[in-house]
Structure 1
Amino acid sequence: MPRRLLRRPAPAHTYLRPRLTLFHVIRRTIMKLVGMQVWDVAGGMTFYTLLSVVPGAIAIVSIVSMLGLEDETVVTAAGLVHELLPEINPDVLASTLLSLANSSTGVLGLVLGLIGSIISASNALASFHRAMHRIYDTREGRQFLWFRTVIFFETLVLMAALIAVLLLVLIGGDLSTRLGDLLGLTTATVTLWNILKWPAILAVLVFVVSVAYHRGPNVVQPRFRWLSWGGLAAVLVLFTMTLLLGWLASYASALDWVLGTLSSLGVAMMVFWVSFIVLVAGAAFDAELLRGRQLATGLPAWDTLQLRTRHTRTLEFLDEDAAQARTTAQAVVESVRTGEPVTVPRSPWIAEADTFWSIDSSDQPVSTGKPYRTPSPDHELG
């Protein structure tokens, strides 16, 4: 171990009832995120999310095209988006969407756009599932087709929830005033709506994140929590980041720092990337907090959380395949070391040496030594 990582030993202390602290949970959360390289995980989720934006926009504009309201509706929608995200240039957004509308083909554009958007968004959701599996030290146990079917319907529910949140956000400010005048609502009612919509948005976000944390990993949680600490922290950080982003966008707009489509795309990519990091971090915090509680009850959770695996069919297949590959490889090594023939079941994975399909030894060096983490002794020959 490098000397810079060595610490002076702390003086010994006797604890009558030792328990882990919150600082330990935070440290293990950080180390878990570093170990799984959360920035790469969030990058993959961001990539698939952005892929769903373009076909989704084509589908929306195709609907507008079939209604014959291209110019007026698209310009109005671009203005609403600009009201929500001031860093986006409404003129550039409107011209881009109108060009997509002119190139789309009505129903065909709608169908293809919806399919492409859902598939891309489902890939982002599948990436989130894989991240949750890594946090809980497990893997996906469902077969591919069944897993993709479940992800498809989860994506539909998630998109509906996000659309609801987006509508809650959009119906505010001047738009809520105009809607209030149209519906005959009083000024006090509109003001009350503008105040109460933010707690409602937070409640919806916390619920969605908590459900995602509960259903994401391939483990059976002890119980469903309507409000997990990690989910609450993630939503609060995202909400604060959104407010900060709005302030920075206004400041940058005043200095003409945010211009054109490319800068808006860069802002969107950064927002998605940071948001996914925060979401994964909240899940990791919940997992490490659960580990501390399991240890406090005497469960051996220092390496693996003591949670029952929900789906095991694919995991059983992978274990059987790995065991077969290990047995075949050990038979080859045993024969090489002893010079004696071995008897194993006939299969296409093993053949006689010096045949067309066999992988034979080489005169060139093929090893530089043992890796840092070697297999367990049970997997090695004596």
Structure 2
Amino acid sequence: MSRILVAIWSPIWAVLRAIGHLARAVALFVARLTWPILRPIGHATAAPFVAGWQKWLVVGAKDPIPWRYALRRTYHGFLRHRTVDAGAALAFFSTLAIFPGALSVVSAVALGQSDGDAVDDILNIARLGIGQSAADALRPPLISLLSLSVPGVSLGVGLFLTLWSLSGYASAFGRALNMIYGVQEGRRFAKFRLEMLLLSAVMMVLFAAIAAILLITPSIAEAIGAQFRFGGLLVLLWNYLKWPVLVGIVVLTIALLYYFSPNVKHPRVRWVSYGALFAIGGWALATVGFAIYVTTFSNYDRVYGFLGGAVVVLVYAFISNFVLVLGGELDSQIIRVRYLQSGVEAEGLIPLPLRDSKRNLALARHQSLDLVDGRTMRLKAVRLYGEPTLDEHGQPHIRPRFQTMSGSARPGLSDEDDRAGQ
């Protein structure tokens, strides 16, 4: 029971701490603005006020983050670590999880509602993120999914396929963060896949909670309110309170991805980090901007025809994953800054311990064997044909297979023997 309470309280406490840091930063900004106003009043009058501000600001505060350096390193990491490519790869894996995820949601909703109501509820939620046209394009495949005769079986199949697809997504996300931290994946395939399956199972539970909050809880709130005769008030309160709950679930999901997917061991789970806040804020702005663009300026349906909805979903998945990877890049640079402020050498690699290195040792042995075989092949060619020569473009001359330095067709035969053999 205590572990459950700790798991529930930790994200809440992290959010409260983040709010406290934000309030402290705002207070420092206000103090800097008010000091020129208070200075003419007199030092004796203004000193207690300023001392009180400084005492409250200093309590519990760490060394300030040099944001200029952190943001510059984030930009340079964005250029070096192929963040765009990582976002595209993650968009592919997340797109693979859309169909089984939709199958699971539709089957679960269809167990308690009629087909038409289930499709309408899902499309109403989809319109909030991807716009009217893209959501309408999803209606035919959703209706096709609902045509399955046994929704219970389709729910089980959808959950299994969703779990496997999400594990592939988590693995790709871990590889992207490994590139950011400058490490190789050291966990064996079985161990790594098992960890990603467990992480995907937790993510599925969180996504199911989001779907339940958006699809089911309004009806539950109305039913409870009607039973106790305060339905309107309860529904109104829930319509406002559900959004902080949804934000908390999203923060928890991102924190789990940032902590468990890479092959680096953080000192603790950072429930609310600057990278996670940047990812959530950037994702929200990108969602609003992309929805406005799709509904106002774009012509995806005219250009791509019946594939317009799929293209919209793919582009939206790329934008979302790009922001997530960029948030991980920002987190890594803030960790680097904290090490540097502590006097630890972190200008190059971030000195975080690895979760596992067994796979790295096996890969190192394979690479050493490949190098030895390649060196043996090269030295054998040098003994037979001599040192290679370069042409005018700096490229080595590629000799025929049996051509020697003397011009004979086969090693060990003279030119006359070679002509006689011909």
> Structure 2: which amino acid aligns with 1:25?
A
1:134-149 superposed matches below 5 A: 134-149=179-194
Query: Which shows bigger deviation, 288-297 or 149-158?
Result: 288-297
Map Cα deviations across residues 290-323 of structure 1 (whole Å, 9 max, x no partner).
2122223332322211111111110111112112
Residue of structure 1 in register with 2:143 after alignment? 98
**Contiguous gaps of at least 5 residues in structure 1:** 1-18, 341-360, 366-382
Residues 279 and 324, structure 2, Cα contact 8 Å, conserved in 1: yes
- Structure 2 residue runs of 5 or longer lacking an equivalent are 1-63, 386-396, 402-422
1:155 aligns with 2:200: yes
**1:191-229 CA-partner distances (Å, limit 9, x unpaired):** 332222222222222222122212222112133322211
- 1:112 maps to which of 157, 173, 194: 157
Return closer, same or farther for 1:218/1:37 CA change in 2, 3 Å cut-off.
Answer: same
Preserved contact between residue 135 and residue 309 of structure 2 (Cα < 8 Å): no
| Per-residue CA distance 1:317-360 (angstroms, 9 max, x = gap) | 111211222233334444555679xxxxxxxxxxxxxxxxxxxx
Structure 2 counterpart of 1:363: 399
Q: Is the 8 A contact 1:87 1:258 kept in 2?
A: no
Which position in structure 2 is the counterpart of 1:229? 274
Instruction: State the match for 2:416 in structure 1.
Output: none
Q: Percent identity?
A: 25
Give the superposition deviation at 1:237: 1.7
TM-score, length-scaled by structure 2: 0.66
Aligned pair count? Answer: 324
Higher helix fraction (1 or 2): 2
| Equivalent position to 1:307, from 352, 360, 372 | 352
Aligned partners of 1:71 and 1:91: how far apart in 2?
Answer: 14
Asked if 2 retains the 8 angstrom alpha-carbon contact of 1:87 and 1:264, the reply is no
CA contact (8 A) 2:174 2:262 kept: yes
Q: 2: CA distance between counterparts of 1:307 and 1:91? A: 47
Match of residue 97, structure 2, among 52, 71, 80: 52
TM-score by length of 1: 0.72
CA distance in 2, matches of 1:248, 1:188: 36
1:86: how far off? 4.4
Tell me what 1:276 maps to. Answer: 321
Could you say what the CA RMSD is over the residues aligned between the two structures, in angstroms? 3.6
After TM superposition, the structure 1 = structure 2 runs for residues 1-382 of structure 1, keeping only pairs within 5 Å, are 21-62=66-107, 69-82=114-127, 86-88=131-133, 92-102=137-147, 106=151, 108-170=153-215, 178=222, 182-183=226-227, 184-248=229-293, 251=296, 262-337=307-382, 362-363=398-399
For residues 34-79 of structure 1, give each alpha carbon's deviation from its aligned partner in whole angstroms, at most 9, with x where no partner exists. Answer: 2222222111111121122223333444556777943443344434
User: CA 1:334–1:301 in 2, change beyond 3 Å: closer, same or farther?
Assistant: farther
**Aligned-partner Cα distance in 1 for 2:212–2:365:** 49
Largest Rg, 1 or 2: 2
Q: Distance in 1 between matches of 2:329 and 2:144?
A: 43
- Give the Cα separation in 2 of the matches to 1:72 and 1:292: 52
Kept after mapping to 2: 8 A contact 1:46/1:273 = yes
